[in-house]
């Protein structure tokens, strides 16, 4: 049986601020050596050259090292860059605990894993799907989860393509899916999502020509980010296990489009929070730890029949526009702008929408 989980959300008040993590450790809420993973939003541009992810990564690893974590470099720190609109930089910290109340009810369990090295020529291709799927299965075992139905959220971070890695592939006689480094972020995310879907039995292994093209294929629990700071998939599987104990529970749903507040509320209900028929943020109290979601500009260029110009706008990339939109919608639901909203969601939830996971404190 895996150990029970303590999970807390902390604010990030500057690019290199890790004081929230320091405070949790110094106050005895968590122990440094028990930290399993950190999932957070940083305030950069969210692009290939988003240095804020690297700065946050370094700051949090330094705290773990200073406070006695034996292998701070091995902890998955999944940073999603870009807090457009009202979104607020923050981090959600997952750690095991020895102080959880026993219960036979389903409670939060977390498993982490690292995939095999993902080569530049793997991105966008079945080899990457297979490597990610193997890593997800390993993380499920670490979480003590046997039934894929008990998995409600899989957060990953994978490599994208840069000029250096493209040249590396060429030096070995290989080629790459795309030479557009910005577009490679979307492709890395979508290929990873298919790996999650394969591991959880949501889809069969896809043919190469369906990757990043067949939008009918998706995972309802995958949330995939990519960056330049790693060469393999960091995988965090979050689900529920009976008997593990503790105060926390996770649930999930999907947003059908960028305005689907019902999808967000359904994820919150799925986490175990009782709500009235027409809920309001005040109904949540302090029971909602955080919500995690992916979003995507609808490829049709329309939302609920109305035309928008996100995909035609040459001034502001659609990544930033849809992130700000969904962030505002979600913050209106939760009453808290410190929520995890990440973009580039092909194969992550239905096209034009995305998956939503919610963690509740039921203590």
- Alpha helix positions (H), the chain: 19-26, 51-66, 126-143, 163-171, 181-199, 261-270, 318-334
- Provide the sign of the torsion angle of the four alpha carbons 130, 135, 139, 141, taken in this order: positive
Q: Which of 157, 220, 253, 351 is catalytic?
A: 157
**SS3 sequence, 198-267?**
HHCCCCCCCCHHHCCCCCCCCECCEEEEEECCCCEEEEEEEEEEECCCCCEEEEEEEECCCCCHHHHHHH
Crossing angle of helices 51-66/19-26, nearest 10°?
Answer: 20
Task: Kindly report the number of other CB atoms within 10 A of residue 91's CB atom.
Answer: 26
Judge whether 80 counts as a catalytic residue.
no
| CA dist., res. 263 & res. 330, Å (int) | 10
Instruction: Please give the structure tokens belonging to residue 218.
Output: 């998706």
Residue 299 CA to residue 344 CA, distance in Å, equals 12
CA 303/CA 288 separation, integer angstroms: 28
Closest CA to 124 of 80, 153, 159, 155: 159
Q: Alpha-carbon Rg of the chain, whole angstroms?
A: 19
Candidates 225, 270, 342, 351; catalytic one: 225
Please give the Cα distance from 276 to 288 (Å, whole number).
15
Active site residue 225: yes
- Contact criterion met (CB below 8 Å) for 104 and 240: no
Cβ within 8 Å of residue 114, ≥6 positions away: 74, 76, 135, 232, 233, 234, 235
Residues with a known catalytic role: 157, 225
């Amino acid at each position: 049986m895996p150990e029970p989980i303590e999970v807390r959300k902390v604010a990030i008040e500057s690019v290199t601020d890790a004081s929230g993590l320091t405070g949790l450790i110094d106050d005895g809420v968590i122990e440094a050596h028990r930290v399993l993973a950190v999932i957070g939003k940083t305030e950069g541009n969210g692009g290939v050259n988003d240095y804020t992810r690297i700065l946050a990564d370094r700051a949090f690893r330094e705290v773990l090292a200073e406070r006695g974590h034996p292998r701070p470099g091995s902890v998955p720190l999944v940073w999603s860059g870009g807090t457009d609109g009202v979104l607020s930089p923050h981090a959600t910290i997952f750690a095991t605990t020895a102080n959880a109340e026993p219960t036979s009810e389903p409670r939060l369990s977390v498993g982490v894993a690292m995939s095999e090295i993902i080569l530049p020529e793997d991105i966008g291709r079945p080899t990457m799907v297979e490597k990610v799927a193997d890593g997800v299965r390993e993380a499920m075992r670490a979480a003590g989860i046997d039934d894929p139905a008990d998995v409600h959220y899989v957060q990953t971070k994978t490599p994208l393509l840069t000029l250096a890695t493209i040249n590396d592939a060429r030096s070995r006689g290989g080629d790459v899916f795309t030479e557009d480094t910005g577009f490679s972020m979307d492709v890395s995310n979508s290929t990873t999502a298919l790996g999650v879907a394969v591991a959880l039995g949501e889809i069969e292994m896809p043919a190469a020509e369906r990757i990043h093209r067949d939008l009918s294929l998706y995972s309802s629990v995958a949330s995939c980010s990519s960056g330049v700071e790693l060469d393999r998939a960091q995988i965090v599987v979050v689900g529920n296990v009976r008997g593990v104990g503790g105060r926390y529970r996770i649930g999930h749903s999907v947003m059908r489009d960028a305005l689907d507040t019902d999808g967000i509320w359904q994820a919150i209900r799925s986490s175990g929070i009782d709500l009235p028929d027409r809920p309001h943020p005040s109904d949540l109290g302090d029971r909602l730890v955080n919500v995690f979601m992916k979003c995507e500009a609808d490829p049709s260029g329309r939302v609920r029949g109305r035309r928008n110009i996100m995909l035609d706008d040459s001034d502001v990339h659609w990544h930033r526009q849809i992130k700000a939109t969904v962030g505002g919608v979600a913050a209106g639901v939760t009453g808290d702008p410190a929520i995890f909203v990440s973009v580039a969601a092909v194969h992550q939830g239905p096209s034009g929408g995305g998956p939503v996971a919610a963690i509740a404190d039921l203590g």
